[in-house]
Amino acid sequence: MSVVRFTREVYEAIRAHGERTYPHECCGALLGTRSDQGWRITAAIEAGNARTDSAHNRYQISPLELMKIERSAREQGLAITGFYHSHPDHPAQWSETDFNEAHWLGCSYVITAVEKGSAALTNAFALTGTSEETKQFEVEHIEIAE
Amino acid sequence: MKIFIPTPLRQFADGKDAVEVAAVTVASALAELTSTHADLRKHLFTPEGKVRAFVNLYLNDEDVRYLPEKEATAVKESDTLSIIPSIAGGRG
């Protein structure tokens, strides 16, 4: 099982984001660097949820916002390592929608279950494979650096 | 001009986060990119040669799909092209 490493600050921030946007889904990008041991996430960028029509069970980061996040990451010498979002009153498990809309191969997709407004379980999934046809989610172990 | 390569596609571009190409249009820039890095082609284009629906292209800060000439838009050496796979999902 691969490992994704967070700083405590970033880990708590993405969970708090989900609590603030409850009962809607929050979303954002994760920035960091890659080593032989996997992704090390050192920053989280909150993003707007463009799915205002269905924010309670859908999220989308606008491509323009995503482009600006990537530009900012480049300027900081970081890469977009993955994305996070929340599932209000729903398990921290990827859905069919999450899978169908996942295209960032090699990146981490982090999901936090927010139950009645409080962050519960946070899970991470690596999008593995080398193409749309072979992609799959694999559970990642979350390690938090204190 | 410079083409910025997103994280998931860098493995198909020799690990580079940006590639310089000489091109006159967005389409020719992508053609040169995929000529040099052939593995990128299937990630950017359908078998019919159209840009994949989840691949967003930004010429500087403009979404190429909304430009009047789309991929036929002329480009300058100082322009940048950003490839941005879409990100969406949800519990439903």
Give B53's Cβ-side CA count (13 Å radius): 4
Mean confidence (pLDDT) of chain A: 95
Helix H, strand E, coil C: the string for chain B is: CEEECCHHHHHHCCCCCEEECCCCEHHHHHHHHHHHCHHHHHHHECCCCCECCCEEEEECCEEHHHCCCHHHCECCCCCEEEEEECEEECCC
B43 in Cβ contact with B51 (< 8 Å) = no
* Chain B residues lying within 8 Å of A33, measured CB to CB: none
pLDDT surpasses 90 at A38 = no
pLDDT at A124: 97
pLDDT digits (tens, 9 = 90+) for A87-134: 999 999 999 999 999 999 999 999 999 999 999 999 999 999 999 999
pLDDT digits (tens, 9 = 90+) for B28-65: 999 999 999 999 999 999 999 999 999 999 999 999 99
List of domains in chain B: 2-85 (3.10.20.30)
* Chain B residues lying within 8 Å of A88, measured CB to CB: 91
List of domains in chain A: 3-145 (3.40.140.10)
* Chain A residues lying within 8 Å of B11, measured CB to CB: 105-106
pTM of the model: 0.94
If you average pLDDT over residues A72-78, what whole number do you get?
Answer: 93
Closest residue, chain B, to A60 (C-alpha): B88
pLDDT digits (tens, 9 = 90+) for A50-70: 999 999 999 999 999 999 999
